[in-house]
Amino acid sequence: MIEIKCVAELVVRDSTGREASLTDIVPLLALVDETGSIAQAAEQSRLSYRHAWGLLRLFEARLGGDLIAKERGKGSALSSLGHAVVRAQRLCSERLDAPMQMLASEIAEELGRQLGRSAMVRIHASHGYAVAALVTALQTRDAASVDIKYRESAEAVAALARGECDFAGFHLPRGTFRELCADIYRRWLDPRRHVLIYLTRRKQGLFLQKGNPKGVRGLDDLARSDVRFVNRQPGSGTRLLIDLELRRVGVDPERINGYASTELTHTAIAAFVASGMADVGFGVAPAAHHFGLDFVPIVDEDYYFACERGRLSSGPLAAALSVLRSDSFRDSVSHLEGYDPAQCGSLVEIQRGLRGGAEGAD
């Protein structure tokens, strides 16, 4: 199997044309912020103290400002510019991670075809941390090659019906809106041809800046003029869920500051809030946890893969199902905040899954 990585970085160029990548300094800055000491940050980075200071001075010269604010008796702390540099590189990486992963998969697939290694699991899926964990597990164990494309839930299921993918990942809320959301997928799922594989139960809710400085308590607060919101793109399952929940509490989307501002993944939403460009976002708990954000749960969901039942008994799909049912994979997903993979790998009949949840597992 060919493994291709595509990595985002920000490059700073000074007036003389010399360049430096922020990826060279951000890990050191993050450790200074964590430890309050340049010496400790250098030691944990396995750099000499002199080399660490050299890097800091290099980037301060490139950027034209101080990255470290030193106060006598208080150790070292990042300046406002230092914090902005860390946020900038993190925002770059997280907002571009999903599309770059898709590009890397497409390139790996093409190279694999050229080498006669085209057999792989094709996954079209709504973005989720458990999906990413499955891709990593398949690649790490060399169980099967993977072509992952993050798509809106409806697009993923439609692609399965057209034979364009092997696994179509989508999610359904538990409770009031289950039936309404399930109707979106029924047109493409044939109970005789398709079956569902249960992946995980997860929580979606509000992402808030650490400490919740705006005092946001629920969806009603999104209509406040002092609250900036960042939204998911139209057509995504999460966007549909946001719109339904806003309707339930009687909030007019037109009154929400930032409702038209959109990002493509949960991680990108969290990065946007963490960067200070929005006060509130909506998505899954692990994204908020990853960025140190506060999280207010709103709804529980079930995440499924739809697939053709006749292809699960052999080849790459059988290998993928084996990974999904393994204790090690369930353990990795259980460590994701707000995720419950207890029924992971269970087969669920179409009608029972659209209607129920893990209770429909056979």
Give the residue ranges of DSSP H helices in the chain: 26-35, 38-44, 49-63, 80-114, 129-141, 153-161, 178-186, 237-249, 266-274, 285-290, 315-324, 327-334, 350-355
Over residues 135-168, the pLDDT tens digits come to 999 988 876 778 888 889 999 999 999 999 999 9
Query: Do 186 and 195 meet the contact criterion of CB atoms below 8 Å apart?
Result: no
Verify that 61 and 142 share a domain, yes or no: no
Residue 148, Cβ density class (10 Å: 0-12 exposed, 13-18 middle, ≥19 buried) = buried
Over residues 67-118, the pLDDT tens digits come to 988 666 567 888 989 888 888 887 787 777 767 776 776 676 667 666 655 5
Q: Does the residue 162 lie in any domain?
A: yes
Q: Phi first, then psi: what are they for 167, rounded to 5°?
A: -120, 130
Q: Which residue range forms the structural domain that includes residue 38?
A: 11-88
Q: Which of 67, 88, 109 is the last residue of a domain?
A: 88
Verify that 237 and 302 share a domain, yes or no: yes
Q: Assign 356 a pLDDT band (cuts: 50, 70, 90).
A: confident
Residue 97's pLDDT is 72
* Cα atoms found within 13 Å of the Cα of residue 131, Cβ hemisphere only: 31
Q: Which of 88, 103, 137 is the last residue of a domain?
A: 88
* Average pLDDT, rounded, for the chain: 88
Query: Do 184 and 154 meet the contact criterion of CB atoms below 8 Å apart?
Result: yes
Q: Which CATH number fits the domain that encloses residue 186?
A: 3.40.190.290
Q: Does the residue 5 lie in any domain?
A: no
Verify that 181 and 68 share a domain, yes or no: no
Residue 177's pLDDT is 93
Number of domains in the chain: 2
Q: Phi first, then psi: what are they for 13, rounded to 5°?
A: -120, 130
Q: Does the residue 274 lie in any domain?
A: yes
Stretch 293-308: mean pLDDT, rounded? 96
Q: Which phi-psi region, left, alpha or beta, contains residue 76 (left: φ > 0; alpha: ψ -120 to 50)?
A: beta
Q: Which CATH number fits the domain that encloses residue 41?
A: 1.10.10.10
Verify that 283 and 356 share a domain, yes or no: yes
* Cα atoms found within 13 Å of the Cα of residue 172, Cβ hemisphere only: 29
Q: Which of 88, 108, 129 is the last residue of a domain?
A: 88
How far is Cα 299 from Cα 242, in angstroms, rounded to an integer? Answer: 10
Residue 257's pLDDT is 96
Distance of CA 71 to the CA centre of its chain: 37
Verify that 64 and 151 share a domain, yes or no: no
Verify that 34 and 164 share a domain, yes or no: no
Is the pLDDT score of 7 beyond 50?
yes
Q: Which residue has the tokens 């809030």?
A: 273
Q: Does the residue 105 lie in any domain?
A: no
Residue 361's pLDDT is 39
Verify that 183 and 265 share a domain, yes or no: yes
How far is Cα 338 from Cα 202, in angstroms, rounded to an integer? Answer: 5
Verify that 143 and 67 share a domain, yes or no: no
Answer with the residue of higher pLDDT: 64 or 256: 256
Contacts of 80 (CB under 8 A, 6+ apart): none
DSSP letter string, 205-265: EEEE-TT-TT---SGGGGGSTT--B-EEPTTSHHHHHHHHHHHHHT--GGGSTTTT-EESS
Verify that 268 and 315 share a domain, yes or no: yes
Over residues 329-347, the pLDDT tens digits come to 999 999 999 999 999 999 9
Answer with the residue of higher pLDDT: 19 or 353: 353
Verify that 151 and 212 share a domain, yes or no: yes
Q: Does the residue 3 lie in any domain?
A: no
Over residues 251-261, the pLDDT tens digits come to 999 999 999 99
Residue 253's pLDDT is 94
Answer with the residue of higher pLDDT: 266 or 15: 266
Parallel, antiparallel, or unpaired for β 68-70 and 76-78? antiparallel
Q: Does the residue 192 lie in any domain?
A: yes
Q: Does the residue 146 lie in any domain?
A: yes
Q: Does the residue 253 lie in any domain?
A: yes
pTM above 0.85, yes or no: no
Sign of the alpha-carbon dihedral angle for 262, 303, 280, 227: positive
Both tokens assigned to 297: 């749960």
Sign of the alpha-carbon dihedral angle for 240, 242, 246, 249: positive
Verify that 58 and 192 share a domain, yes or no: no
Q: Which of 201-205, 209-213, 232-236, 313-317 has the lowest mean pLDDT?
A: 313-317
Amino acid at 358: A
Verify that 168 and 56 share a domain, yes or no: no
How far is Cα 13 from Cα 249, in angstroms, rounded to an integer? Answer: 49
